[in-house]
């Protein structure tokens, strides 16, 4: 009877519960879990590229962002389409500084080159130019 009583007593007594701040061995912080997920799916490079594009306005400022039409990364190159020729000229002159600032923002060497593109013409002006050239020929 003594063994049965000890067994029933041990089942009836609760184990001390862990405090809300105590961590179990199989629980990892969210940050570590997300980092492991990014590594497992090899998303680090693409995630850094998206971070560069998303941080363009913060790094370059509101005035430059307003004159920016498009920003994207392809094969280690950052392509920026601007609507202002004078701004494009200024940024071309400061290309290495822009590159440094963006890579520092991300904390990794994501972009190897910055390419500033001229603004795209509107379809209306392109068709007018083509029509004018056709009449001259």
Domains and CATH numbers, the chain: 61-136 (3.30.300)
Task: For residues 45 and 39, give the distance between their C-alpha atoms in angstroms, rounded to a whole number.
Answer: 10
pTM for the whole structure = 0.65
Q: Are strands 77-82 and 113-117 parallel, antiparallel or unpaired?
A: parallel
> Would you call 80 exposed, middle or buried from its count of C-beta atoms within 10 A (0-12, 13-18, 19+)?
buried
The residue with greater pLDDT, 72 or 9, is 72
N-term to C-term CA, the chain: 113
pLDDT of 12 above 60: no
Residue 16 is predicted with a pLDDT of: 54
DSSP-H helix ranges across the chain: 2-12, 30-40, 44-54, 56-60, 62-66, 85-93, 95-106, 123-136
Mean pLDDT of 117-124: 69
The token duo for 6 is 């000890």
Query: What is the rounded average pLDDT for all residues in the chain?
Result: 81
Alpha-carbon dihedral angle through residues 42, 44, 45, 47, given to the nearest 10 degrees: 120
The token duo for 59 is 């790094």
Residue 128 is predicted with a pLDDT of: 43
pLDDT of 17 above 70: no
């Amino acid at each position: 009877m003594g063994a049965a009583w000890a067994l029933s007593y041990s089942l009836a007594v609760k184990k001390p519960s862990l405090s809300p701040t105590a961590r179990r061995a199989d629980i990892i912080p969210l940050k570590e879990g997300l980092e492991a997920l990014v590594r497992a799916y090899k998303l680090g490079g693409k995630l850094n590229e998206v971070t560069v594009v998303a941080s363009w306005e913060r790094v370059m400022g509101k005035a430059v962002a307003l004159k920016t039409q498009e920003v994207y990364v392809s094969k280690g190159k950052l392509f920026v389409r601007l609507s202002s020729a004078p701004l494009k000229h200024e940024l071309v002159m400061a290309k290495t500084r822009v590159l440094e600032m963006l890579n520092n923002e991300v904390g990794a060497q994501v972009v190897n080159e910055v390419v500033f593109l001229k603004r795209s013409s509107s379809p209306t002006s392109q068709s007018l130019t083509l029509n004018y050239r056709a009449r001259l020929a």
